[in-house]
Amino acid sequence: MDVAQMLAHCQALLQVYSGEMKLKQSFIGVLFGRLAKRKFFGDKPWPQSLPTAREFHVADTRAFETEKQKLVALIERSAAMAPAATAVHPFFGRLKPAEWSRLLWLHLDHHLRQFGV
């Protein structure tokens, strides 16, 4: 994944939060999502190469500036709203607003650190 693809990847979680992308919780998420939430929502940085939902994979070529502008717009829009009533994380399931806020921050922080930003 290059930087532009990472920016597009980060948009996907914000699109779930806003209700633009609707997903169901995966079977593995139903089994382990609640248990894993404690680990992932803690204070330790996330490890590299974690699995992700296939809907969040970005394999095609993207333009850095375009993806950056889209991500910034999504962050600004999302900061002014509560999670959509239909927002279901594909692994963790339905989250409370505070959990969504923490997850969005942790996810962006993880990828920005990954690329040294």
Please tell me the total number of residues recorded for the chain in this structure: 117
CB 3, CB 75: distance < 8 Å: no
Q: What is the pLDDT of residues 72-99, one digit of tens each?
A: 999 999 888 888 888 999 999 999 989 9
Contacts of residue 115, defined as CB under 8 A and 6 or more positions apart, other chains included, come to 3, 6
Q: What angle do CA 105, 89, 98 make, to 5 degrees?
A: 45
Kindly indicate the confidence band of residue 12, based on its pLDDT and cuts at 50, 70 and 90.
very high
CA dist 23 and 80 (Å) reads 22
How much is the pTM?
Answer: 0.88
CB 87, CB 94: distance < 8 Å: yes
